[in-house]
Chain A
Amino acid sequence: GQQLNQSPQSMFIQEGEDVSMNCTSSSIFNTWLWYKQDPGEGPVLLIALYKAGELTSNGRLTAQFGITRKDSFLNISASIPSDVGIYFCAGPATYTGNQFYFGTGTSLTVIP
């Protein structure tokens, strides 16, 4: 199946710092989704992107749909301890049934 590569794999940052992560695909996507998974919980949708070049914010989070349609970026400004978790990107599978491919995840640790 399709592989979405996320980088970095993990990040350790100080509280208050900004965070950047990205996701790349070998295929063109028409939709990009970003999820956050808290420890011991299921992923929760943060941001959805539907158009190349689109920039969308959700509080301190900003995500961009890459111009090439093969990548997406997520930024978190002024990180806080509750930002800890694993961040996944997702793009739609080409076969039917509404499925998405998920990235390998970026694990974020925020040091108070």
Chain B
Amino acid sequence: NAGVTQTPKFRILKIGQSMTLQCTQDMNHNYMYWYRQDPGMGLKLIYYSVGAGITDKGEVPNGYNVSRSTTEDFPLRLELAAPSQTSVYFCASSYADRDYGYTFGSGTRLTVV
């Protein structure tokens, strides 16, 4: 059982470049999330989705976009990369009852230079 799979694991981008971070889950979870993790700052929610075709902004959405065309996939798009987007990005998914917590992917470490 793969759980939540993120690709790539590492990436270096130049300022102004764009890229898509991929996330897929095989647990049939309706809810999916993108978080970023900066040193000493915990995890901040970027975007989330409560089901296919439905997405909404989290705490720190600026500079990012998402789509949710299927239950399994929730890609995160960076259009014009900036140094402030250097971070570790985690995708997560959960059942509708959030008391069960999230299942996280292993993360994408992104550096913008």
Pair from one complex? yes
Residues of B whose CB lies within 8 Å of any CB of A are: 4, 31, 33, 35, 40-45, 48, 50, 56, 58-59, 90, 92, 94, 96, 98-107
Counted as pairs of residues, one from A and one from B, with CB atoms less than 8 Å apart, the total is 67
Q: Enumerate 26 A-B pairs (CB-CB under 8 Å) in ascending A order.
A: A4-B42, A9-B40, A35-B101, A40-B107, A41-B106, A42-B106, A43-B43, A44-B104, A48-B101, A50-B99, A88-B42, A88-B43, A90-B101, A92-B98, A98-B33, A98-B50, A98-B94, A99-B48, A99-B58, A99-B98, A102-B35, A102-B42, A102-B43, A104-B40, A104-B41, A104-B42
User: Given A98-B31, A98-B50, A99-B58: A33 and B101 within 8 A (CB)?
Assistant: yes
User: Given A102-B42, A104-B42: A42 and B101 within 8 A (CB)?
Assistant: no
Check B99 against A31 for contact (C-beta < 8 Å). Answer: yes
